[in-house]
């Protein structure tokens, strides 16, 4: 594994995360603002300025921009492919109050106290130092401003019926994140991280995504597309941690799970709200 000019991890010249692949980006374009960001909506008012850091292709950002319009909304992401797609979608949709720029959450190109609201969804799990990232969000928030952060914690997913394929998928995915110092199962510490970063923490809650019925096939196929497009899985083969035949068995196992009439899937995360005093 190497790093590109921006310090992003890459494997064989491709982004470690694989977010440059359109299949993986598609996982994020269908985000529902009520599900993913409902906890912050009651705190938003028309005219507020808002930063969505690690915005991906911007599905959540657009929803937030609608709520605070005509307030200024900025989506920042370290991955240029994400920003290109978000910028294109913004132009197509005609949303006026949103802009997107490439930026690293550790070193944001914004002034101290620039935003009323700082938001970040499913980003800090990629980082070896989430507290440093949250300190940077604290810096760009206004005094009295609010932070809404969501972080995965996949230690206890409900996978019914049990599926060796799914369990192996999560084991390989977590192992890859660990290799860059990130973690998919530290969401439970989010409140502590935010307090350490300087926020007064006012709420910490579980936030869960579910799949049952027809959404099980969508869920399984989404994760299979990650297997095919996220380089950390190929790296796991190169490192001898897994093999192509085991990955084939993982794909088959996930499809078999999705076809089961009782298939149920529930993946937890943690969300927290904090204030900059
Ligand atoms: C799992 S995606 C989430 C995208 C979006 N927030 C959502 O929930 O739909 C994680 C995003 O974080 C971005 N990211 C990872 N490390 C980052 C960093 N150091 N600074 C800014 N963005 C980063 C990735 O490029 C990716 O777009």
* Element spanning 264, H or E: strand 264-275
The mean per-residue pLDDT over the stretch 194-220 comes to: 96
Q: Which atom of ligand 1 is nearest to the CA of 55?
A: 6
Please provide the size of the chain in residues: 277
Q: For 30, which DSSP code?
A: T
pLDDT for the residue 221? 95
Average pLDDT, whole number, for the chain?
Answer: 95
pLDDT for the residue 52? 98
Q: How far is the CA of 196 from the centre of ligand 1 (A)?
A: 22
Is 136 close to ligand 1, i.e. is its CB under 6 Å away?
Answer: no
Q: How far is the CA of 28 from the centre of ligand 1 (A)?
A: 10
Taking only the tens place, the pLDDT of each residue in 180-205 is 999 999 999 999 999 999 999 999 99
DSSP string, 189-209: GHHHHHHHTTPEEEEEEEEEE
Determine the residue of 6, 75, 78 to mutate for testing ligand 1's pocket, defined as the one with the most ligand atoms within 8 A of the Cβ atom. 78
Q: How far is the CA of 42 from the centre of ligand 1 (A)?
A: 24
DSSP string, 73-116: EEEEES-HHHHHHHHHHHHHHT-SSEEEEE-BTTB-SS-TT-EE
Q: Domains of the chain, with CATH numbers?
A: 2-155+181-210+265-275 (3.40.50.150)
pLDDT for the residue 15? 82
d(CA 85, CA 99): 12
């Amino acid at each position: 594994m190497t790093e590109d000019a921006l310090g992003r991890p890459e494997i064989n010249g491709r982004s470690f995360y694989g977010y440059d692949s359109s299949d993986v980006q598609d996982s994020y374009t269908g985000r529902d603002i009520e599900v993913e960001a409902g906890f912050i909506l009651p705190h938003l008012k028309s005219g507020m300025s808002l930063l969505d850091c690690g915005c991906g292709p911007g599905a959540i950002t657009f929803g937030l921009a609608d709520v605070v319009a005509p307030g200024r909304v900025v989506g920042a992401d370290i991955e240029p492919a994400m920003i290109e797609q978000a910028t294109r979608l913004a132009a197509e949709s005609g949303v006026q109050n949103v802009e997107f720029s490439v930026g690293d959450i550790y070193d944001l190109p914004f002034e101290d106290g620039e935003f009323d609201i700082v938001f970040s969804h499913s980003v800090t799990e990629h980082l070896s130092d989430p507290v440093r990232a949250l300190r940077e969000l604290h810096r760009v928030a206004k005094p009295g401003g609010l932070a809404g952060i969501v972080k995965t914690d996949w230690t206890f997913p409900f996978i019914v019926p049990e599926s060796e394929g799914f369990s192996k998928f999560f084991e390989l995915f977590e192992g890859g994140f660990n290799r860059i110092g990130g973690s998919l199962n530290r969401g439970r510490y989010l409140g502590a991280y935010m307090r350490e970063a300087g926020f007064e923490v006012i709420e910490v809650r579980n936030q869960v995504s579910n799949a049952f019925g027809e959404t099980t096939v969508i869920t399984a196929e989404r994760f299979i597309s990650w297997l095919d497009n996220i380089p950390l899985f190929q790296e796991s083969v190169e490192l001898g941690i897994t093999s192509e035949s085991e990955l084939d068995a993982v794909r088959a196992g996930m499809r078999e799970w999705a076809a089961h009439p009782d298939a149920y899937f529930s993946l937890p995360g943690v969300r927290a709200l904090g204030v900059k005093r």
